[in-house]
Chain A
Amino acid sequence: MGGSKSTSATSAEAEVFSLSASVAQMEATAKKLRRHIVTMVGKAGSGHPGGSLSAVEIVTALYYKIMRHKPLDPQWPDRDRFVLSKGHAAPLLYAVLAECGYFPVEELLTLRQMDSRLQGHTDRTITPGVEMSAGSLGQGLSFALGVALAGRIDGQDYRTYVLLGDGECNEGQVWEAAMATAHYGVDNLTAIVDNNGQQIDGWNCDVMGLDPFAGKWQSFGWKVIEVDGHSLPQLINAFKEAPKVKGQPTVIIAHTIKGKGVSYMENNPDFHGKAPNAIEMEIALKELE
């Protein structure tokens, strides 16, 4: 069933993840996550490196500095929730979950293989720490809104984070959900848009223009914070600011570079959904040393 996942410890035994990492330590972690992404996608021979690499700092800040969570008790009722709406960035989520200790790091190399817990797109029924089965774009904000409302009804103080892609915002459902989140005055949810500027067919502005992007969110009733999505201090500040906004939801528009960290993948839509070959992988890992 949806709610049941095997956990290796009970709430009482499992420890709350330490959020004491320094920015320097988190920068090292971010680099490690990028290496994982390149390695696992390269090994799998398919997958989505570009939009995984662009959001590395976003999830690093959340899992290492912001969110209350217990890697050995993924269903801990008091945990903050992270909903990955752009489900093709699954390699990124798997990488951070493994580094935090949700499952062994070695398991990352099973990505996309038969019987692996690490599916091509996220599957909440089999992967510890995955909140939502995603991959069909546009559905995560609605789901996260339901999670946030459930917490509000029960008076629970967990916070819900949801990561969307900018291209994903072509989907009408995103704006249905944006409208509803503001309508309900939900302020226990923070949305983050990984604004890397590209989607499969090219630059957003050529495929389907989103501008004025911040203005759209504002006009839907959201508080907008814009940051450099590769700056950990800026992201952390924004994540700490968001809960202070009351009576309305907050979206952090994180300006990022698709394929960040690997020279030939940066701003290259070819690597939205293409794995690096052996030589390319070697170059990438060298750049990420």
Chain B
Amino acid sequence: MEPVSVREAYGKALLELGMDNQDIVVLDADLSRSTMTRFFAREFPERFFECGIAEQNMIGIAAGMAASGKIPFASTFAVFVPGRCFDQVRMSIAQPGLNVKLVTTHGGISVGEDGTSHQSIEDLSLICSLPGFSVIVPADATETTEAVKAAAATLGPFYIRLCRPKLPLVYGEDYQFKLGKAVMMKQGGDATIIAIGLMVRAALEAAIELEREGIYCRVLNMSTLKPIDEAAIVQAAAETGAIVTAEEHLEHGGLGSLVAQVVAKNRPVPMEFIAIKDTYAKSGKPSELLERYGLTEGDIERGVKSAIKRKR
């Protein structure tokens, strides 16, 4: 299947939203060609605000607009929001709970050759630490479109993290995104792989591979990282007895940490964490980087076996 751009899906979804709703406004920090907000900018120049290379100011403008009844979508690279303007996101958006939608692209290490400065591996930890934020990491273009629409329709601050590469579709056109609900991608009773973003596809491939060895994995797409679907996690722990998380993010503070908290509190089972291990990545092709930093199907398979081995 031909991979599809999640960024383009975002740009087109914005365009559609802009036609239906006059309150949608879009801001960008000199990256509208990369984040694809330029589609909206071309069609609705009076509702598009180019903020230049000044992310802190962009966050403040978006907050002021939201306080005045607008639904601002603000975009740049994931490495700059929330990282570069964390305090602005905290005080101008999160504390007052304003209706701002932060949609960032080029998340994770799959941004590739640009290297460490552009690889966002801490953003999910930072944004999930802020009370009241909803956080979504879509698994493909279809889910991106749906998540963007859901964010526009739901009052309150959102963070949606997209990646740079095109992704193979894991969902058909009939897919219905439900905020805060994990999606069962595959049934299985031996272990559960919980994944987000481009790792969902890897998780499905790992599960198919493991099946050949007689290991049947459940695969959950935890696209809503916050509020996390506790019930689905507890059920997975109870029914499969082992959990492996997979994310394009540091091991600390992201999906793995959030799932582990739920598991430890409700139903302790062995866990493994497929994530970047307390280090910064370097330049390289996305596929090379994913392999070097342990984010492949093979890494997930090894994680599943290791977790199953420790089952009681």
Partner-B contacts on A (CB < 8 A): 1-3, 83, 123-125, 131-136, 138-151, 153-154, 172-173, 176-177, 179-180, 183-184
Contact = CB atoms under 8 A, between A and B. Distances in A.
B64 A147 contact: yes
Interface stretch (B91-99, B134-142, B159-167, B274-282): B91-99
Contacts of B66: 2, 146
Given A132-B67, A147-B67, A150-B70, A2 B52 contact: no
A179 B64 CA distance: 17
B204 to A, nearest CB: 38
A254 B155 CA distance: 39
B189 interface: no
A148 B62 CA distance: 11
Contacts of B91: 133-136, 139
Given A143-B64, A145-B64, A180 B54 contact: yes
Contacts of A124: 67, 96
A265 B69 CA distance: 41
Contacts of B60: 139-143, 145-146, 173, 177
Contacts of A83: 64
B57 A150 contact: no
A184 B61 CA distance: 12
B234 to A, nearest CB: 29
Given A2-B99, A150-B69, A177-B60, 17 more contacts: A1-B99, A2-B97, A3-B67, A3-B99, A123-B95, A133-B92, A134-B91, A138-B56, A139-B92, A142-B88, A146-B60, A147-B67, A151-B68, A153-B46, A154-B69, A176-B56, A184-B49
Interface in B236-284: none
Which of A133, A138, A143, A154 counts the most chain B CB atoms within 10 A?
A143
Does more than half of chain A's interface fall in helix, strand or loop, or is it mixed?
helix
Contacts of B96: 2, 123-125, 132-133
Does more than half of chain B's interface fall in helix, strand or loop, or is it mixed?
helix
B67 A131 contact: yes
Q: Which 6 A-B pairs have the closest CB atoms?
A: A146-B64, A142-B60, A150-B68, A176-B57, A176-B54, A146-B61
A140 B88 CA distance: 10
B226 to A, nearest CB: 17
A147 B54 contact: no
B65 interface: yes
B16 interface: no
B61 to A, nearest CB: 4
Chain B interface size, under 10 / 10 to 19 / 20 to 34 / 35 or more: 35 or more
Interface of B: 25, 46-47, 49, 51-52, 54, 56-70, 72, 87-88, 90-92, 95-99, 155-156
Given A139-B92, A142-B59, A172-B56, A150 B156 contact: no
A3 B52 CA distance: 28
B57 A177 contact: yes
Given A133-B91, A179-B52, A149 B64 contact: yes
Given A133-B91, A146-B62, A146-B67, A125 B49 contact: no
A82 B72 CA distance: 21
Given A173-B57, A179-B54, A142 B64 contact: yes
Contacts of A154: 69
Which of B54, B67, B95, B97 counts the most chain A CB atoms within 10 A?
B67
B56 A180 contact: no
Given A2-B98, A146-B67, A173 B88 contact: yes
Contacts of A183: 52
A222 to B, nearest CB: 15
Given A133-B91, A179-B54, A180-B54, A149 B67 contact: no
A288 to B, nearest CB: 33
A75 to B, nearest CB: 10
A148 B67 CA distance: 11
10 contacts: A133-B96, A135-B91, A139-B88, A140-B60, A142-B64, A146-B68, A150-B25, A150-B69, A173-B60, A180-B61
